[in-house]
Amino acid sequence: MSLLRSQSGRRDFLVTSALAGALGTLLPAAAQAGTPPAGTATAAAPAAQAETPFAGAATVGAAALGQHPARDPSIRPFRFQASDEALDDLKRRIAATKWPSRELVPDASQGVQLATMQKLARYWEGDYDWRKFERRLNTLPQFVTEIDGLDIHFIHVRSRHPNALPIIITHGWPGSIVEMLKIVDPLTNPTAHGGSAADAFDVVIPSMPGYGFSEQPAELGWEPVRIARAWTMLMKRLGYSRYVTQGGDWGDPISEQMALLAPSEVLAVHTNMPAAVPPEILKAAQSDSPPPEGLGADERRAYDQLRFFFTKGLSYALQMAGRPQTMYALDDSPIGLAAWLLDHDARSYELIARAFDGEKEGLSRDDVLDNVTLYWLTNTGVSSSRLYWENKLPFFAPFGLKAPVAVSAFPDELYQAPRSWAEKAFPNLIHYNRLEKGGHFAAWEQPELFTKELRAAFRSVR
């Protein structure tokens, strides 16, 4: 989820000014390179990072993501195996958690609830199996390649069907490539999942800089536009001259910026969290003024969702946009990291909390902990947060995109984009669907619906 950081010279955030921005430019020191992943990554290593991993983790080997004397622009195969020492250390740290007292309200209005975190901790320490996820991940073709000074990790699965449409899919925060794994086989192997050969995609899923197995930036400047340029270079390097893009959360501005930067290459964009809110709606949702008159039912619901987000849902973004380096606890305490990652938005938190109560719909306990454990083992709690500090693009405001755009509006997203707003923001709207279920992590929560949406969205541009 993105914030605009302006040149106002202040560090405080004014909820009434997301369009103008209000996070100031008192620049901190350059972001320090982070600790390498606690395990073995069998790929050539990127540029120098901090040499000492956290206590209890195995030192990364010479052929892993550690120090490297020279940059390598080739595409290199990648696999990751966490060390036994790192996994044992994780369990020790969970067991040693110093718990706070219980929240003083009967709901989640004070934050992630103690009972939810204690259920998560018991399962994480006792029954969760990282190796199961690791084996699943390593069955997929993974690679790293240096782009603009950083080693970028990505999954690349080619369809066996001819004339498959190349697609690059970008995750967000607090997600990762884990969000997208359930849709890989349905997209690349559609005939095994209710589709036809004409629905096939070649799928590219990169890890954003500072996230997962991609290198952590050691200099300022890695914001969504720069990432979009890097993704454009990645697609060129993979031999794709024409392709489509997809994204929600951070993936939306990155995907839309790719279309603006490379209009002759990007055939179309699909987004499940579009930058499509009219300026007057944004201004009203961030202020104490009443909503604009004349809103239809869908527009009023979207306005109410935005109003709730701006008044009650911004805490995580404010901290990361203003003071990301302060959050040392994310890289020191697994329970601190998990609680932070769970608290993205109210509807997603409800879904996750239900998973630890035994609910089977949507995300499972393993889904949640696969993602959290990936953050932990790669030591990317703080490095991923810096993207909020770097960002200069506005919340939800249209970018003036003229390329073909498809919108899937899920009801439990931060806001469910009305068709009227999508048509105004995207004059070349090729697909719009208002779905009945699904939220912020749509591909992760509702992979079958999401797959159907991508097939329908891009059918006209094949």
| For the chain, percent of residues with pLDDT exceeding 90 | 81
User: What band does 344 get if pLDDT is binned at 50, 70 and 90?
Assistant: very high
Using one digit for the tens of pLDDT, what is the confidence trace for 201-237? 999 999 999 999 999 999 999 999 999 999 999 999 9
pLDDT bin (cut points 50, 70, 90) of residue 38 is confident
Give the distance, in angstroms, between the CA of residue 74 and the centroid of all CA atoms in the same chain. 26
Residue type, 143: F
**249 catalytic, yes or no?**
yes
pLDDT at position 17 is 36
Of the residues 199, 249, 331, 345, only one is catalytic, namely: 249
Predicted local distance difference test score (pLDDT) of residue 426: 98
pLDDT of res. 36: 58
More confident residue, 43 or 63: 43
Question: Confidence band (pLDDT; 50, 70, 90) for 283?
Answer: very high
Query: Which residue in 68, 153, 344, 440 is the catalytic one?
Result: 440
Task: List, in sequence order, the alpha helices (H) in 96-167.
Answer: 114-126, 130-138
Looking at the chain, how many residues does it have?
Answer: 462
CA dist 170 and 203 (Å) reads 11
Alpha carbon 50 to chain centroid, angstroms: 24
Active site residue 440: yes
The one catalytic residue in 388, 415, 431, 432 is 388
Residue 422 near residue 407 (C-beta atoms within 8 A)? yes
Indicate the residue type of 387. Answer: L
The 3-state DSSP class for residue 275 equals coil
Contact indicator for 22, 8 with CB cutoff of 8 Å: yes
What confidence category does residue 317 fall into, taking pLDDT thresholds of 50, 70 and 90? Answer: very high
Q: Residue 47, Cβ neighbours under 10 Å: how many?
A: 18
User: What architecture does CATH give domain 15-461?
Assistant: 3-Layer(aba) Sandwich (3.40)
Predicted confidence at residue 43, as pLDDT, reads: 60
Tell me, what's the pLDDT at 18? 34
Ranking 124-138, 242-256, 359-373 by mean pLDDT, the lowest is 359-373
Whose structure tokens read 């693009």? 393
- Residue 40, classed as helix, strand or coil, is strand
User: Residue 249 — left, alpha, or beta (φ > 0 → left; ψ -120 to 50 → alpha)?
Assistant: left
pLDDT-derived band at 57 (thresholds 50, 70, 90) equals: very low
* Banded model confidence at residue 27, pLDDT cuts 50, 70, 90: very low
Backbone angles phi, psi at 130, to 5 degrees: -60, -35
